[in-house]
Amino acid sequence: MTSDLRALLAAIVANPADDTARLVYADCLQENGNFARAEFIRLQIEAERHHPDSNARSELERRARELLAEHWIDWWGEMCSAVGFPLPTPKPSSRLGRFASRVGLRSGAGYPYQTTGFQIIRSYDPRSINARSIDALRGLAQVIFRRGFPDTVEIHDNPAPFLPKWSLTSPLHTLTVDAPYSTNWYEGQHLANLHSLILHDYDLVVFDVLQSPHFTNLKSLYLGMPGYLDNPDPLTIFADELAALTTAPRTRQLTRLAITVWSDRAAEIVASAESLSGLESLEVSLMTDNSDEGESAGWRLAILSRSPHLAGLKELTVNGVLNAAGIAAAIQKPTWTGLRKLELDLQFSTRLDCLDHPDGLPMLEDFTLAGININAEEIAVFLRSPLLKRLTHFTLRGHPNNRTLLSRLIDAVDANRIETFSLALPITPATPLDGVAQLRRHFGDKLRVTTG
């Protein structure tokens, strides 16, 4: 690596969220003859500048995946050399080597890793089990290339001694930790530039993490399901931990938080937390009491919607079975008049009549509705909704009861204002989608349809 590349890499590591140094790094790579890696960095950065549901982003990511599929062994090998991982098996260069790989006489190209999309994961090829390789990789689950670098890492409960060395060849932007309670993984200066932390199956460790002096640039915290579900009273433990979390000084620097709200008390703790006033993005998974058809989840969302400390939200994601009152709490409450992006994953819970409200969310630009039945009644609501006519991005994920109804969605949004109109439908690509042809003629490249 040249001195210029080392200096640029240091700048990228120091500020993983900034793209400027990454693009200059790509220019420097190209000047040194590494055209493929330079193009890969530019493609990934350009893709993230487009809306996630746009056709333009999809095409950029397709080209980036092709480059990674071709070159990942070399690019990942650089990281392996730096952190002490076993090197990936190179591609066979001779006819004999290719034959040996096909018949299982040698490890496949890339072993002990494999790639899928932008992910690098550990490979468990039974033909090539190597105790030394397994031990060296202990703790590693997967790595994701984002904006040109493997800056997103997932580790398991085991110690991950390789993390302090990560900055030798890549920034560390996002860290996912599964079962993070038995080791002091949250200690170390290498975490100082981390922006996003995701904890799965955690125990009573969140407060310790937020007390650590090392997460000085942490902006995003995602808390999955905790690891004490077998406790006789997990709801009380969770609420107590949530209350402690909101008192940690580090909480005040968060701009994004994702949590599960299990009870009314948990909702009240979040709503009353002045330390969360800096949040710009909130994702809540609302648990429902038994089978009350969304009444309890709707009430908890209503509690959150009345919080003056959450008034600055620009993005809100809600997952859960909501009743009509709960959906209305997300759309019609004056607290969230500055909301620009809203995602509701409703799990087929209720009707959407509240979309008729003329004054709901006046600043909203980006709206996702997931987990709904797309039927004549709901489409009629879409056609009447003034909110949908103001959108620049609309995503609809659900089950169409009658595929011929899809063509009626032409009048759900303003074709002159909309920039991306995305339909995600549970239909195999081989099945014709009645109505989509009319939508495509009307919206052109603004329409994106995914099936599966």
Asked whether 62 and 404 are in contact (CB, 8 A), the reply is no
Which element (helix H / strand E) includes 41? Answer: helix 35-48
Lowest-pLDDT choice from 28-32, 341-345, 400-404, 431-435: 431-435
- The C-alpha atoms of residue 363 and residue 117 are separated, in whole angstroms, by 35
pLDDT (tens digit per residue) in 140-181: 899 999 999 999 999 986 678 889 999 999 999 999 998 766
Q: What is the structure's pLDDT at 105? A: 45
Asked whether 43 and 70 are in contact (CB, 8 A), the reply is no
Which element (helix H / strand E) includes 367? Answer: strand 366-374
pLDDT (tens digit per residue) in 182-241: 677 888 899 999 999 999 877 777 878 888 889 999 999 999 877 766 777 888 888 888
Burial class, 283, CB count within 10 angstroms (exposed 0-12 / middle 13-18 / buried 19+): middle
Domains of the chain, residue spans: 3-81, 116-451
Lowest-pLDDT choice from 184-188, 276-280, 335-339, 368-372: 184-188
* DSSP calls for 88-109: PPPPP-SHHHHHHHHTTSSPPT
Which element (helix H / strand E) includes 236? Answer: helix 234-245
Query: Among candidates 71, 63, 62, which has minimal Cα distance to 34?
Result: 71
Which amino acid, one-letter code, is at 210? L
- The C-alpha atoms of residue 373 and residue 443 are separated, in whole angstroms, by 23
Lowest-pLDDT choice from 147-151, 400-404, 429-433: 429-433
35-48 helix and 55-83 helix, angle to the nearest 10 degrees: 130
Q: Identify the CATH number of the domain defined by range 116-451.
A: 3.80.10
Residue 136 has pLDDT above 90, yes or no: no
Q: Which residues pair with 368 in a beta bridge?
A: 343, 395
pLDDT (tens digit per residue) in 383-400: 999 999 999 999 999 888
- For the chain, percent of residues with pLDDT exceeding 70: 88
User: What is the phi/psi pair of residue 64, to 5°?
Assistant: -65, -40
Q: When comparing pLDDT for 441 and 360, which is higher?
A: 441
Contacts of 25 (CB under 8 A, 6+ apart): 5, 8, 9, 12, 41, 148
User: What is the phi/psi pair of residue 141, to 5°?
Assistant: -105, -55
Which position has the token pair 């493929």? 36
CB atoms within 10 A of CB 142: 16
Q: Are strands 149-155 and 140-146 parallel, antiparallel or unpaired?
A: antiparallel
Token digits of residue 148: 């040109």
Q: Reduce the DSSP state of residue 146 to 3 states and report it.
A: strand
pLDDT (tens digit per residue) in 7-57: 999 999 999 999 999 999 999 999 999 999 999 999 999 999 999 999 999
* DSSP calls for 293-355: TTHHHHHHHHHHHT-GGGTT-SEEEEES---HHHHHHHHS-GGGTT--EEEEE--S----GGG
- The C-alpha atoms of residue 98 and residue 91 are separated, in whole angstroms, by 8
Q: Are strands 119-122 and 140-146 parallel, antiparallel or unpaired?
A: antiparallel
Which amino acid, one-letter code, is at 139? G
Q: Please give the span between the terminal C-alpha atoms of the chain, in angstroms, as a whole number.
A: 44
Rounded to the nearest 10 degrees, how much is the dihedral formed by the CA atoms of 117, 123, 127, 133?
140
Residue 134 has pLDDT above 60, yes or no: yes
Give pTM, 2 decimals: 0.91
Residue 247 has pLDDT above 80, yes or no: yes
- For the chain, percent of residues with pLDDT exceeding 90: 54
Which of the residue ranges 155-159, 231-235, 298-302, 345-349 has the most confident prediction, judged by mean pLDDT?
A: 298-302
- The C-alpha atoms of residue 172 and residue 182 are separated, in whole angstroms, by 22
Which position has the token pair 């006819």? 95
Q: When comparing pLDDT for 2 and 33, which is higher?
A: 33
Q: Are strands 174-178 and 113-116 parallel, antiparallel or unpaired?
A: unpaired
Which element (helix H / strand E) includes 259? Answer: strand 256-261
- The C-alpha atoms of residue 296 and residue 94 are separated, in whole angstroms, by 65
Which element (helix H / strand E) includes 450? Answer: strand 447-451
- DSSP assigned state of 87: P
Sign, CA dihedral 161-165-169-174, equals positive
